[in-house]
Amino acid sequence: MGPSKEIVERVKKLREAINKYRYDYHVLDKETISPAALDTLKHELATIEEQYPELITPDSPTQRVAGKPLPEFKKIKHTATQWSFNDAFNEEEIRAFDERVRKGVGAAHVAYTCELKIDGLKVVLTYKKGKLESAATRGDGTVGEDVTMNVRTIESVPLILTKPIDVVVEGEVWMSKKNLAKINAERRKAGEDEYANPRNVAAGTIRQLDPRIAASRKLDTFIYDIASSSEPLPATQFAELEYLRELGFKVNKEAEEVKNIDGAITFWKKWEKLKEKQDYLIDGVVLKVNERRYQEALGYTGKAPRFGIAFKFAAEQVTTILEDIVFQVGRTGVVTPVAHLAPVNVAGVMVSRATLHNEDQINRLDVRVGDTVVIQRAGDVIPEVVQVVSELRKKHAPPFVWPKKIAACGGDGAIERVPGMSAWRCVNKNSAIQIRRRWHHFVSRGAMDIDGCGPKTVDLLLDQGLVTTYADLYSLTEGDLVGLPGFQELAAKNLIDGVKKARRVPLDRLLIGLSIGQVGEETARDIAANFGTIEKIEKASVDDLLSVYGVGQIVADSIHTWFRDVENRKTLQALLKVVTPTRVAKVAGGALAGKSFVITGTLTSMSREEAESRIRAKGGSAVGSVSAKTSYVVVGDSPGSKAEKAKKLGVKTITEPELLKLIS
């Protein structure tokens, strides 16, 4: 027998009450009912739903915790591109940003909304008719991981909104410092290692396959932006935050609306001092132009919104002892010095390694083994040595001598300085470690993206002699793999399926996978979009390559040289028999379509990057070197030799005001 009308009505009221108290407690920070009492309401609802499963709905408070772990995360394609903010680290940079904004909108003063930059994990929540449909990580900005089941366990995330609208919102998942302390206390009792910081725990928790683990960690959220909505958006950023609150989201209450950039700097200075007093990690302040009409007018660059910026706090610096300097050989043979340090906690993370970048940096710092050094996490990510406390140096400590040979380079270990750069590289381009790292890179997500083929699998295939060239990977069968250490039938099938899917690959990702020196993601995409096919890239001259935006002399020479190496050409031709590169679309045309620009000197109204971005937005290309094919050379203050070269080649030079007319 089904539930009576009274039971149905009771379930409805229980859900409404639980949702209200949840909102009061987790969003408004008001305890309108004791946690114990709220638990009894939840228990009653769960008991009824257990008796009458047909009453269970996806938005029921009892469904925040799923019963079974997921076997794997699915992918979710974002309906709105997830941008990252550019960074500013001091007043000079933030005032330059404000100047660009004001000139971009033609206003003497611009108001901003200042929000605390929470150091957590970004999530994108999608609601259909007011009900939570999905939650995803940022991922690569286009595709993220489906973490819906874990996010449903977070009490501050409403499963149903106050309005039945379609909306996509963005926010940050975080763990409180107090909660981390409790978890670490439990781990100490159990004899387990402690977690370093709440941000890492929050990120790791959201990526747990078992939602029960996420539920036990008691994560929290702050929602701060609307990516899209079926309703008209408020006229200002600050009003948008209030609108998010009205929909039922938890919004950080410390946001402020300021009249100008001076107010934003004051806000930043205030929170630089107060950040440690909060129960969540803060690594800066996010500034957004308050007026939506101005936001829309400013738009986006290829990477970030022009109307917003992350104003970061000064990186935390600590001192420690540099115990040794060792060398790491990368996949292209570049040799990087790495400092081995006495372990030290930096911004909540234990650090025992830090980059020294190159020989020039070592000489500039005069760093020596045994020195007391200052390290920081630049951008809160990569630890680096930034200073030597020379007063604490031991007497007669010998200067560090850059080696002439590196054993990891193989052969006689010889190294050479890269022409025009501060880097050194192995003379032997095919040492064992370089070959393996090139293979690891080839199968990685950013390159050929072969599912089921990580570094350990690659090492196993190489050790077993099953592959010697990239093309060999595509001729493997399940029978070749079954019986290898760690390979059962399912693992073998997954790898073969992953290889099959990777037979068609965008041309830019193929270029990345080939480990061509100096070719990163952006350069690969620009090259692929401009030439269209791998055959045209093979035939391209250095001048042809220099005509592509973002390609300078060093990059052009590197690409040209790679395609003229006999062994490289053999590798590529064999690979093209089993892989089909697909075209990469060019940027849509505009008023400057077909025109190329070179900028020399300093611009006063915008940064060089901003000018290049606006040129590309109009369909033009911004390149690094002047050639006879260059359309315009923009001459700013204190121009370099490029202006003289333009005159010799008969290339038209224009001033900054003339450029502004073209890109306005």
Show which residues are catalytic.
117
HEC per residue, 128-174: ECCEEEEEEECCCCCEEEECHHHHCCCCCCCCECCCCCCEEEEEEEE
Report helix, strand or coil for 24: helix
Task: Enumerate residues 6+ apart whose C-beta is below 8 A from 498.
Answer: 450, 451, 452, 453
Report helix, strand or coil for 336: strand
* DSSP codes joined into one string, 308-322: EEEEEPPPPEEEEEE
Q: How far apart are CA 342 and CA 305, in angstroms?
A: 40
| Residues 560/542, Cβ–Cβ less than 8 Å | yes
266-295: b or e for each residue (b if 16 or more CB lie within 10 Å)? ebbeebeeebeeeebbbbbbbbbbbbbebb
Pairing type for strands 167-174 and 121-128 reads: antiparallel
The amino acid sitting at 561 is T
| Residues 624/642, Cβ–Cβ less than 8 Å | no
Nearest to 250 by CA among 310, 308, 169: 169
Q: How far apart are CA 508 and CA 528, in angstroms?
A: 5
| Residues 642/552, Cβ–Cβ less than 8 Å | no
> Could you tell me the end-to-end alpha-carbon distance of the chain, in angstroms, rounded to an integer?
71
Task: Enumerate residues 6+ apart whose C-beta is below 8 A from 435.
Answer: 462
**In residues, how long is the chain?**
664
